[in-house]
Chains A and B, each alone.
Chain A
Amino acid sequence: MSTIQKSEFWRSFKSAAWLGWQIESNWADPLLFFIYSIVKPIASASILVVMYGIITHSNFENPLFPYIYLGNAFYIYVSAVMAGVAWAVIDDREHYKTLKYMYIAPIRIPYYLLGRGVARFLTGSMSVFITILAGVIFLKLPLDLHMVNFPLFFFSLFVGIIMLSMMGLLLGSITLLLVHHSFGIAEGVAGALFLFSGAIFPLEVLPAWLRPVGYAMPITYWLELLRRSLVGEVAQAFPTLVSFSNLQLIGILVGLSVIFGILAAYAFKWCDFRARERGLIDRVTNY
C-alpha cells in the first residue's frame, strides 16, 4: 500500500510539473520565451535602480542598494511559486476547465497543485539568476563568490521554496471556495507581502504599528538569510534583524514554515471538502 501511495504522490507531482512547464512555455519558441522570462523581472528591478540612482546620484556603494536589489530579485520567487500554485486552481477550473478531470484522475490534488508550481519555480529561478547577474555586471553589486556562504544559501533557498509552496497551497485551497475574487487573491497577498516583508526597504521605514506584520511573516527571515548568505557584512548592517544570529533566523524560518505547512494541509482538507459539498469543483464563473 505504501509503495502505491508513494507512486501516486510522485506521479501527481511529476505529471503536474510537466504539464505546468508545457502550459508556461509552449506558447512561444524558446528564444522568445527566454526573452519574455527575463524582460519583466529586469524591468521591475530597473524601476528600483532608476529610483535609487536619481536620488542617491548613483551611489551604488551604499549597503542599502544590495539590500533593495537582492530583496527584489529573490521576491520573484514569491510571485512565481506562491502565486503559481494558487493560480493552478483558477487556470484549471476557469480557463482550461479541466479541474474536474484532475479530481477523477488517479492523482492527489495537493501534490498536483504543488507540481504545477514547479514550472514557475524554474522560470523564476532563471529570472532571479539573470537579475542578480545584471546587478553584478552593470551595477557593481558587491557579490564575491569566494565570500558567499553557499551551505546557508542553498539551505535557506530550499526551506524558502517549501515555505512558499505551502503558502501557495493555502491560497489555492481558499481559491477553491472563491467565486468573485479568485483572480485577485494571490496577487493581493503577494503585493501585501512585498510591502510588509521588507523586501525592498528595511522594516524600520514602515510605521511602527505595521512592523509586527512583517515580523510575523516567514518571508522576512527568508530574505534576510539569503542576503546574509550572499553579502553577509552588508546585510548585517541593517538594524531590523541584527540581534538574531543566522541559526536563530533559520530556526524562526523553519518554525514558521512548519506552521504554514500544517495550516495549508488543514486548509486544503477543509476547503476541498466544502468545495465538493457545494459542487464548486467544476464551476466556471466567466468572471
Chain B
Amino acid sequence: MNKTAQVKETSPGTDNSTKVTGWRLFLKTVIARAYPRLIGQQREKSWMFFDIFLPMLAVSSYVFVYRAIQAPEDYVGFAVMGGAMTAFWLNVLWGMSSQLYWEKEQGNLALYIIAPNQMMAILLGMALGGMLATALRALAIIFLGSVLFKVGFVVTSFLQLFSVFMLSMTALYGMGMMMASLFLLLNREAWHISNLAQEPIYLVSGFYFPINSFPFWIAAGASIIPLTLGLDAMRQLIFASGPALGFVDVRTEIIVLLVLCVVFLVGAKFLLAHMEKLAIREGSLTDSRR
C-alpha cells in the first residue's frame, strides 16, 4: 500500500505513520478539528431538536409580541431571521470563545499545545465545523419560522445575499477565534462572560428589530459585531420593507464586513500567538480553577 492510499484509508487525525508538515499538516489539522463537530452532530441527532427547539421558543415569543402590538408582517420575518442568527452567535460564544476554556477544563488544551500543529489550524477547524453544523440549524429555524408564521421573502439579489452571508460568517468566526485566545486566560469567568454576552448583544445588534431604531452612533458602534451589519444587509435583501428600514446601504455594509474579516482574522493570529506565549510562561495552561 502506498503512502497516499494509507492516508486516504485512515480517518482524520489518526494517521501517525505518515509525517505531514507545512500546509498539509495545517489542512489536516483543520479537517481533524472540524470532523468531530460535524460527525458529533450526526451521532447525536436529538441535539438538533434542542438546538432548533430552544431558539424557536424565543422566536415564537417575539413573534407573538409583534402580533400583540399589531406590527407589520415583515417584523415577524425580522424576528425569525434574528432568531436563526442567534444560533451562530451562540455557537461563536460557546463553541469558539469558550472552547479553549472547556479544553483546559478537560485536559485537552495542553495536548493541543504540545502536538506538532498550529493552534490557528485548530481554531479554524473549530470554526469551520461549527459554522457548517450551525448553518443547518439556522436553516431549520428559518424554514420552521417561515412555515409557522407565514413569512414572505422577496429576494432582490442572490449574489449579494450569498456574499453578505459568507462575509458575515468569516468575520464572525474570525472574531470567535480572536475571543478564544482571550478566553485562554480565563477560568470560571469564561462561563459568566459568555453567558453575559447573549442578551446585550441581541439588543445592540438588533437581532429582533431593525438596527436603525438606534441612533446612528450606537448602531455604528454595534457594527463591530459582524452580525449587526450582516443581519441588517440580509434583511434589506430579503424583505420588501427591508431597504426602507436598513441602517446603511448594502454595498457599504459589504465593504465594512470585508474590513472586519481582515481585522479579526489577522487579530486572531497575533492574539493567539501572544496569549499562547503568556499562558505557557505563566503556567496557566493546565491550571483549572473551578
Among A178-192, those with CB < 8 Å from B are: 180-181, 184, 187-188, 191-192
- In this complex, which of B65, B70, B106, B208 has the most chain A Cβ atoms within 10 angstroms of its Cβ? B65
**B43-64 CB contact bits vs A (8 Å, 1 = yes)?**
0101100100110011011101
- In this complex, which of B60, B69, B200 has the most chain A Cβ atoms within 10 angstroms of its Cβ? B69
Q: Tell whether, in the assembled complex, residue A184 and residue B54 are in contact, meaning their CB atoms are under 8 Å apart.
A: yes
Q: Which residue of B lies closest to A68 (CB)?
A: B65
Q: Tell whether, in the assembled complex, residue B69 and residue A195 are in contact, meaning their CB atoms are under 8 Å apart.
A: no
Q: Tell whether, in the assembled complex, residue B203 and residue A43 are in contact, meaning their CB atoms are under 8 Å apart.
A: yes
Q: Tell whether, in the assembled complex, residue B69 and residue A55 are in contact, meaning their CB atoms are under 8 Å apart.
A: yes
Q: Tell whether, in the assembled complex, residue B64 and residue A206 are in contact, meaning their CB atoms are under 8 Å apart.
A: yes
Q: Tell whether, in the assembled complex, residue B196 and residue A39 are in contact, meaning their CB atoms are under 8 Å apart.
A: yes
Q: Tell whether, in the assembled complex, residue A40 and residue B198 are in contact, meaning their CB atoms are under 8 Å apart.
A: yes
Question: Which listed residue (A43, A95, A195) contacts B202, Cβ 8 A?
Answer: A43
Q: Tell whether, in the assembled complex, residue A200 and residue B50 are in contact, meaning their CB atoms are under 8 Å apart.
A: no
Q: Could you say which of A45-53, A102-110, A142-150, A256-264 contacts chain B?
A: A45-53
Q: Tell whether, in the assembled complex, residue B65 and residue A43 are in contact, meaning their CB atoms are under 8 Å apart.
A: no
Q: Measured between C-beta atoms, what is the minimum distance from A235 to chain B in Å?
A: 15
- In this complex, which of B54, B68, B195, B214 has the most chain A Cβ atoms within 10 angstroms of its Cβ? B68
Interface size on B, residues (CB 8 A): 39
Instruction: Collect the chain A residues with CB atoms within 8 Å of residue B202's CB.
Output: 43, 47
Q: Tell whether, in the assembled complex, residue A181 and residue B46 are in contact, meaning their CB atoms are under 8 Å apart.
A: yes
Q: Tell whether, in the assembled complex, residue B188 and residue A180 are in contact, meaning their CB atoms are under 8 Å apart.
A: no
Instruction: Collect the chain B residues with CB atoms within 8 Å of residue A39's CB.
Output: 196, 200
Does B290 have its Cβ within 8 Å of any Cβ on chain A? yes
Q: Measured between C-beta atoms, what is the minimum distance from A204 to chain B in Å?
A: 9
Q: Measured between C-beta atoms, what is the minimum distance from B220 to chain A in Å?
A: 17
Q: Tell whether, in the assembled complex, residue A27 and residue B189 are in contact, meaning their CB atoms are under 8 Å apart.
A: yes
Instruction: Collect the chain B residues with CB atoms within 8 Å of residue A181's CB.
Output: 46-47, 50
Does B213 have its Cβ within 8 Å of any Cβ on chain A? yes
Q: Tell whether, in the assembled complex, residue A51 and residue B66 are in contact, meaning their CB atoms are under 8 Å apart.
A: yes
Q: Measured between C-beta atoms, what is the minimum distance from B146 to chain A in Å?
A: 17
Q: Which residue of B lies closest to A204 (CB)?
A: B68
Q: Tell whether, in the assembled complex, residue A205 and residue B54 are in contact, meaning their CB atoms are under 8 Å apart.
A: no
The verdict on A51 contacting B203 (CB below 8 Å), with A36-B196, A181-B46 known, is no
In the complex, A39 Cα to B207 Cα: how many Å? 17
Instruction: Collect the chain B residues with CB atoms within 8 Å of residue A55's CB.
Output: 66, 69-71, 75
Question: Which listed residue (A27, A47, A51, A191) contacts B199, Cβ 8 A?
Answer: A47
Q: Tell whether, in the assembled complex, residue B46 and residue A191 are in contact, meaning their CB atoms are under 8 Å apart.
A: no
In the complex, A28 Cα to B64 Cα: how many Å? 37
Instruction: Collect the chain B residues with CB atoms within 8 Å of residue A195's CB.
Output: 57, 60-61, 64
Instruction: Collect the chain A residues with CB atoms within 8 Å of residue B290's CB.
Output: 95-96
Instruction: Collect the chain A residues with CB atoms within 8 Å of residue B60's CB.
Output: 195
Does A201 have its Cβ within 8 Å of any Cβ on chain B? yes
Q: Tell whether, in the assembled complex, residue A43 and residue B200 are in contact, meaning their CB atoms are under 8 Å apart.
A: yes
Q: Tell whether, in the assembled complex, residue A180 and residue B46 are in contact, meaning their CB atoms are under 8 Å apart.
A: yes
Does A13 have its Cβ within 8 Å of any Cβ on chain B? no
**A43-71 CB contact bits vs B (8 Å, 1 = yes)?**
11011101111111000000010001000
The verdict on A48 contacting B65 (CB below 8 Å), with A43-B199, A55-B70, A188-B54 known, is yes
Does A286 have its Cβ within 8 Å of any Cβ on chain B? yes
Among A249-287, those with CB < 8 Å from B are: 286
Question: Which listed residue (B44, B47, B196) contacts A40, Cβ 8 A?
Answer: B196
Q: Tell whether, in the assembled complex, residue A201 and residue B68 are in contact, meaning their CB atoms are under 8 Å apart.
A: yes
Q: Tell whether, in the assembled complex, residue B203 and residue A47 are in contact, meaning their CB atoms are under 8 Å apart.
A: yes
Q: Which residue of A lies closest to B188 (CB)?
A: A27
Instruction: Collect the chain B residues with CB atoms within 8 Å of residue A184's CB.
Output: 50, 54
In the complex, A188 Cα to B69 Cα: how many Å? 26
Instruction: Collect the chain B residues with CB atoms within 8 Å of residue A27's CB.
Output: 187-189, 192
Does B67 have its Cβ within 8 Å of any Cβ on chain A? yes
- Interface, chain B (partner A; CB < 8 A): 44, 46-47, 50, 53-54, 57-58, 60-62, 64-71, 75, 106, 187-189, 192, 195-196, 198-200, 202-203, 207-210, 213-214, 290
- Provide a sorted-by-A list of 17 A–B residue pairs whose CB atoms are within 8 angstroms: A27-B189, A27-B192, A36-B196, A47-B199, A47-B207, A51-B75, A51-B209, A52-B65, A53-B213, A54-B213, A55-B66, A56-B69, A184-B54, A195-B61, A200-B64, A201-B67, A286-B106
3 smallest beta-carbon distances between A and B, as pairs = A191-B57, A43-B199, A201-B68
Known: A51-B71, A64-B68. 7 other contacts (CB 8 A): A39-B200, A47-B207, A55-B69, A180-B46, A184-B50, A188-B57, A201-B67
